[in-house]
Amino acid sequence: MEEGKRVAEMVVLRHFSASAPSDRSSRQYFAPFLFTVISAIPLSFRSEPQDTSAHRLSSMVLGIHELDDDVLTHIFEELAELDDPGTADEEPARTSMSTISGALIAFGRRTYYSYPFPDHPPRRRLGWVAATHVCRRWRIIILTLSALWKRIIFSFPRSRDAHFVLLQRAGGASLDLNLQRMNRGLNQHTFALEHIESARTLQGLFPGRLHEEVHELLSSRRLPQLTDINIAQRGARLPDSNDPLTKSTFCLDAPNLRAATLSGLRCYFTSSQLRSLRLLAPSGCSDWSGRLPGLLRNTPLLEILHCDMDYSPPQMRGQRHDGIVRLPNLQTVCIRWDSSTVPDDAHIFIHDIDIPPSCTFHINDISSAPQDSGWRKSLDICSTRWSLCPYNAVALYMCYPSDMGSCIVNVNTFHTEDRREPFGYYVAPYTAEHCCANIRTPATQYNRLNGHRLRRVAPGIFMSISKDQELEEWDWEPEDISREIVSHLRSDSVTHFVLNGFGPLPVMTPNQLRSVLQPLVAVTSLFVISPRNNVLRLPFVSTTDSGNTGLPAAPLFPALRDLTIGCDEIDTQAYDWDGYSGPDWCNAWWSPLLAFLEHRQRIGLPVHTLRVNGWWRIESARQVTALADQRNMQRARELAEGGVIDDRVVENVNIYA
C-alpha cells in the first residue's frame, strides 16, 4: 500500500506539472482531486472540437484507467479528506480549483455557457461521491472504502432511507455522526442516538425535545468506540437550571475518549486517554465548573483545556484540600470569564493546576459591568506566568471604536523561537481580536494580507480584556491597562514589538501612548498595522516628555533597526472616503510613515530596513495609485539605509479557495 501511495503522488504530480499552481505545496494540495475531476468530465465535454482546453484536459487522462486499484484508492482517500459532500458553496469561484463540484462548474462555464445555473444555483454538491458515477470499476473501489462512507451519514437531505444506505456502505466501521452541518430534522437526531454505540465521533446541536434522551443514553451506555464528542443544546441560552442537561452531573463511560467539547453540561469522564477538553457554559447554566479540578485529576494525559469559568467561592475553596492537579502534558490552556461576576478568589483555580512553563496560556476577560479593578485579576495571573516563561516578542492590540461595540486591549507575549512561521510572514502576527475557538469563533480566519491564513491560537501568553461600550460608565481606559501591562513585562528583553488596531480614531494622546511605549528600550523590530498609519502619528509628534516638564522627550525605541508596515486595503470603492481620490489616499497613507522615517534620521537613529506589506483588491486600483506610490516609495528608499522591501500584492480570489 505504501508503494501504491507513492505511485499515486508521482502520477498526480506528473499529470499536473503544467496546469497546476506553480507552488509545489499548492500543487500537491489541489492535484489529487483535480486528477479525479478531469476523469469525471463527461465524454461529450471532452469531444467538443472548438474547445482546445477540453482536448488538453482529455489528453491528461489517457493513462488513468491503467493505474492499479491501490493507487486509485489512495487518490480517492485524499480526495475524500478535502472534498466532503454537503451544502453548495455560495461562491463557486472559490472552489473551482479545489473541489469536484467547483471544477465541473468552472469547466462547464469555459466550454458552453457563462454560468451553468443562472437562475437556480445548486443547493447541494456530491463532493467526492461524484467519482462513483464515472465508471463501474471506480464505483466498486469506492463502495468498498467503508472509512469514507462512515463520515457522511448525515451529509444529504433528511431521508431515513438514505441514512440506512450510507450506513450499509459504511459496513462495520465506526461511525462519524455529525449533526452540525445544517439544520437537522428530529428524525436524524433519533437515528444518531439509535446508533450511538457504533459512533467514533458524535457532534451535534440537540433540540430541547431530545435533551432528556441524550442525557439518559450518555449516562447509561458504555461507548467503547467513542473518541470524540462535541454536543450542545440548540440555541445560546438554556431555559432554566432544571434542564435535564444541567440539573445533574452525568458520567460518560467512554474509555477511549480523546476529545470532548460540551456546552452547558456537567460531566464526569472515565477516560484516562483524554487529550482535549472544552467546557463551555452558556448563560443560565451555573455552578458546573466548580468540580473541574476533580475532573482533571482523571485526565493525566490532557494536552488542551478550554473552559468558561462560572463557579462560586465556597465550591472552589472546597477543592483545595485535594492538592495540586498535575498535568505534565498540558500544551494549551484557554480560560474565558467575566471579571465583574467571577469572585475575587477565582485565581485559586489556576493555582490548583500545575501548568508547565512551556504551556500556551490564554485568558479572555469579557466584562459586562463597569468596574475599576476587575481586570487586575487577569493581569495578576498573567504576571505570574510572565515571571516563569521566557519571551522576547510582545504584540499589543487596541480597539476603541467610536460607535457601538467593545473596547478591547489584547497582549500576547511569546518567544520568536516558538513561532510557527517566520516573524515577518505576517504584518502583525498573533494580534487577532480572539485567540482561539473558545470564544465561539472559527479557529482560523483569513489574514487578507498576502492571502495567508491567520492562526488564532497564539503561542506564549495571551490576555484579552474587553468592555461593553454600551455601558454608560467607564472606570478604566486603554491607557491605564496598557501602561499596567507594560510595567509588568520584562521590557529589557523585548526585541520584537507589534502594534495593531487602534481603530479609526486615536485611542490615546501622543504623550499617553509615549508613556506606554517608553520602557521598551530593547526593541529592534517594530511591526505596525493601523488605519492610515494613525499610530505612527501619535508618539513621535510630541516634543516634550510625558510629564509635561518642557524637556525634550527621550527617543522611543532607541535600538530600532527594522520596521514592517501593513498597508490598508486599497479599493477603488474607497477612494471617495473623506473626499480622497486614489493618489490622495496614497499620499495620506505614506505621509506619517515618511515623517516617522525622517524623524528617526534627524535624531540619529535611522531605520535600517523598511518592509511594506498589504494588498490591492484589483489591479486597476494599483494602477490608479502607481505614480504617487512610486514617488513615495523612492523617498522611503532614501530614508531607509538598508533598503525597502515591497511585499504588496494584488488580491486574487483563488488563493482563498
Judge whether residue 475 has pLDDT over 80: no
pLDDT score at 451: 33
Task: Name 455's bridge partners.
Answer: 444
* Residue 314 to residue 312: CA distance in whole angstroms: 6
pLDDT band for position 476 (50/70/90)? low
pLDDT score at 469: 57
Max mean pLDDT range (10-14, 608-612, 620-624): 608-612
Of 542 and 643, which is predicted with more confidence? 643
Task: Name 552's bridge partners.
Answer: 544
% of the chain with per-residue pLDDT over 90: 11
Between helix 582-602 and helix 626-639 the angle, nearest 10°, is 0
Of 520 and 542, which is predicted with more confidence? 520
What is the SS3 assignment for 609? strand
pLDDT score at 525: 93
Summarize pLDDT for 367-417 with one digit per residue, the tens.
Answer: 765 555 667 778 888 888 898 888 999 988 877 655 445 677 888 898 888
* Residue 396 to residue 269: CA distance in whole angstroms: 38
pLDDT score at 21: 37
Task: Name 632's bridge partners.
Answer: none
Judge whether residue 93 has pLDDT over 50: no
pLDDT band for position 494 (50/70/90)? very high
pLDDT band for position 342 (50/70/90)? low
What is the SS3 assignment for 234? coil
Burial of 105 (0-12, 13-18, 19+ CB in 10 A): buried
Structural domain spans, the chain: 2-125, 510-525+534-564+571-656
pLDDT score at 210: 63
- Among 245, 259, 257, smallest CA distance to 305 is for 259
Task: Name 325's bridge partners.
Answer: 353
Place of cell 465561539: 440
Cα 357 to Cα 333, 364, 556, 570, distances in angstroms: 12, 19, 31, 42
597, 640 in Cβ contact below 8 A?
Answer: yes
Max mean pLDDT range (262-271, 539-548, 624-633): 624-633
Lowest mean pLDDT among 80-84, 260-264, 574-578: 574-578
Judge whether residue 423 has pLDDT over 50: yes
DSSP 503: -
Averaged pLDDT score across all residues of the chain: 68
Judge whether residue 201 has pLDDT over 80: yes
324, 353 in Cβ contact below 8 A?
Answer: yes
pLDDT band for position 209 (50/70/90)? low
486, 520 in Cβ contact below 8 A?
Answer: yes
* Residue 390 to residue 292: CA distance in whole angstroms: 29
